[in-house]
Structure 1
Amino acid sequence: MRHLMAIVVIIIGAYLLVCLLAFLLQSQMIHFPDRKIVATPGLFGVEYRDVFFETEDAVSLHGWFIPLENARACVLFCHGNAGNISHRLDSIRIFRALGLAIFIFDYRSYGRSGGRISEMGLYADARAARRFLVEEEEIDPARIVYFGRSLGSALVVELATHHLPLALIAESCFTSIPDLGRKVYPWLPVRLLSRIHYDSTMRVAGLTCPKLFIHSREDEIVPFSLGRRLFELAPEPKTFLEISGTHNEGFLTSGSTYVEGLKEFLGSLGI
């Protein structure tokens, strides 16, 4: 009996230790920044400018502004939770081919940006990026399209609650980190442990701009059901584009399905 009780105590202790680590280390479990810039748009002959700008809390951020003569609109690009802007060259090429100027930037602690990661900090980073576009590049706010992939989708949804864009595109998106955590770690009390939320459920319900949601049923990181749920919570006008392939490569392996879906959505905006 004592032996059995000892085993139970060990199991409970191990479980509580895992819970404690999940509570303390969750930022490291969500954010995977990379400092090294491995390539630039110049690699495929595209004109771009290195830009640095400051957030409201005085953090210096780095990004690339990629102009295009007679651009249909400008995409404010919020990337996912890993890597940095230099890992998004394929997306830059796609948006440029669609006739769009692009501003892509790194969040605090990513790439050449300063600061320390926090949920509120990343929201501030997105606001600073929009402010840079409007005030420094003099881009008409009515011609800015927000694009967020994965973690970036939560940032553009939050940003849109302050400044509505021409349109918003949320790719491989999720409702909230607690919802995502429950899917990945169903044996943990995720809601009790969550200090980081990136919750778009209430925010998306108030967005009246045109919205495109993109997701793959084969996404192995963010379940399709969460992307679909966020779409269902959003008011009209909205469109859902189903693609195929993995979380990080679906936009490429889907080929024309992805590109034509973007083209059709942009066309519906009258630009």
Structure 2
Amino acid sequence: MLKKIVIVLVVVIAVVYGALLGYLYLNQRAFFFFPDGEVTEIAETAFPGDVVSIPTEDGQNLTGWYFAGADGMPTILYYKGNSGSFTSEHERYETFAEAGYGVLAFDYRGFPTSPGEITQDNMLADAVAAFDWVDERAEDILIWGRSLGASPAVWVASQRDAEAVLLETPFYSAVNVASERYPYVPVGLLMFDPFPSNEWIGDVEEPVFVAHGTADTTISVSNAERLYADVPNPADLWIEEGAGHSDLWRRGIWDRAQAFFNGAG
């Protein structure tokens, strides 16, 4: 009798676990990407640039904001994270422009201002398209990737030549983050969008600055430390004590970024 009970329990657990894996597999992008969010119109901000359309190789168009910057100043190409519209971070672009830098920020396809489907391949293609677009208009490009956007930033830097790369709260890989959150799930076998920054970083020749916070519960600080350890041309690693995932801007990352960019130029 006990043996039968154990067998039944094992079967029930296996069925429940299989159902859980199936649910996570089919709905994984809903747990990963959060594209919904309000769009701030450029006229509502102090950003001095223009709305632009960036074509991709497969005929899509991405919406972005572009400012040419002062003569002789490099352009910051900003890769946003996994939620909302790039327009929500207009304070950053205003600050970049006020300091004389050129700026290009945009929504990957599937995010509020750019139609299409969100996938790793599409995001990487969009990231390259944005680089190539600004490369036709700016002599020197500085890449800034935040959170999920740090992974396309690493990919682009491994494929194109920029002056410097800043990675704000990056992950080692999306698989690594998912494994930390779901240690009971074989995420490496299930993920559609693994974003293996750890595999791409070895081909990045530009100087790299990495920033993270010890209180980040979205992407653990160990991700940044591990990624930075693999950087071929490391410039600096800033770990801010007590900072969460969205705290680094108000904690002074811009001052550190300018010092890094000036030193890399």
Q: Percent identity?
A: 25
Distance in 2, Cα, partners of 1:226 & 1:45: 35
- Is 2:21 aligned against 1:19? yes
Deviations 1:29-73 (A, max 9, x none): 211112641x24443433121111211111111111123333621
Please report how far the alpha carbon of residue 208 of structure 1 lies from its aligned counterpart in structure 2 after TM superposition.
1.4
Deviations for 1:99-134, whole angstroms, at most 9, x for unmatched residues? 311100100011221111111111000111112112
The 8 Å contact of residues 74 and 145 in structure 1, kept in 2 or not, is answered as: yes
- Quote the Cα distance in structure 2 between the aligned partners of 1:67 and 1:43: 20
* Separation in 2, partners of 1:53, 1:265: 28
Give yes or no for contact 2:110–2:116 (8 Å, CA) kept in 1. Answer: yes
Greater shift, 76-85 or 234-243, is seen at: 234-243
Give, in angstroms, the shift of residue 238 of structure 1. Answer: 2.2
Pick from 246, 256, 259 the counterpart of residue 261 of structure 1. 256
Q: Does 1:126 align with 2:124?
A: no
TM-score (norm 1): 0.90
Confirm whether residue 204 of structure 1 aligns to residue 201 of structure 2. Answer: yes
Rounded to whole Å, the distance in 2 between the matches of 1:98 and 1:107 is 26
Matches for 1:163-178 after TM superposition, within 5 Å = 163-178=160-175
* C-alpha distance in structure 2 between counterparts of 1:89 and 1:29, whole Å: 26
Separation in structure 1 between the aligned mates of residue 43 and residue 68 of structure 2, nearest angstrom: 13
- SS at 1:253 equivalent: coil
**One-letter amino acid of the structure 1 residue matched with residue 15 of structure 2:** G
Measure the CA separation in 2 of the matches of 1:32 and 1:213: 24
CA distance in 2, matches of 1:111, 1:183: 29
Distance 1:228 1:207 in 2: 17
Question: Match of 1:219?
Answer: 216
Does structure 1 conserve the Cα–Cα contact (< 8 Å) formed by 2:45 and 2:90?
no
- Deviation of 1:259 after TM superposition, in Å, equals 2.6
Query: How far apart, in 2, do the equivalents of 1:119 and 1:91 lie?
Result: 25
Q: Equivalent residue for 2:11?
A: 9
Q: Residues 22-37 of structure 1 correspond to what in structure 2 (within 5 A)?
A: 22-34=24-36, 36-37=38-39
Residue 115 (structure 1) aligned with residue 116 (structure 2): yes
Q: Is the 8 A contact 1:210 1:237 kept in 2?
A: yes
Per-residue CA deviations over 1:238-262 (Å, capped at 9, x if unaligned) read 21122242212x12331x3x23211
3-state secondary structure, aligned to 1:20: helix
User: Aligned partners of 1:35, 1:71: CA distance in 2, in Å?
Assistant: 35
Number of the residue aligned with 2:46? 45
Deviations 1:109-161 (A, max 9, x none): 112211111111110001111121123xx211xx1011110111110111112
Partner-residue secondary structure (3-state), 1:126? helix
In the alignment, the residues of structure 1 paired with residue 100 and residue 236 of structure 2 have an alpha-carbon distance, to the nearest angstrom, of 21
**Number of corresponding residues:** 262
3-state SS of the aligned residue for 2:248? helix
> Take 2:126 and 2:19, find their aligned partners in 1: how far apart are those partners?
33
Give the secondary structure class of the aligned counterpart of 2:143: strand
**Cα distance in 2 between the residues matched to 1:44 and 1:114:** 23
Q: Distance in 2 between matches of 1:27 and 1:111?
A: 16
Q: Answer whether contact 1:42 1:48 (CA < 8 A) is retained.
A: no
Given that 2:68 and 2:138 are in contact with CA atoms closer than 8 Å, whether structure 1 keeps it comes out as no
RMSD, aligned α-carbons: 1.7
Tell me how far apart the structure 1 counterparts of residues 128 and 145 of structure 2 sit (CA, whole Å).
Answer: 13
Structure 1, unmatched stretches of 5+, are none
Pairing of 1:67-216 with structure 2 (within 5 A): 67-70=68-71, 72-135=73-136, 138-140=137-139, 143-216=140-213
AA of the residue aligned to 2:196: D
Equivalent-residue separation in structure 2 for 1:94 and 1:251 (angstroms): 15
Q: Return 5+ residue gaps in structure 2 as ranges.
A: none
Q: Post-superposition shift, 1:5?
A: 3.6
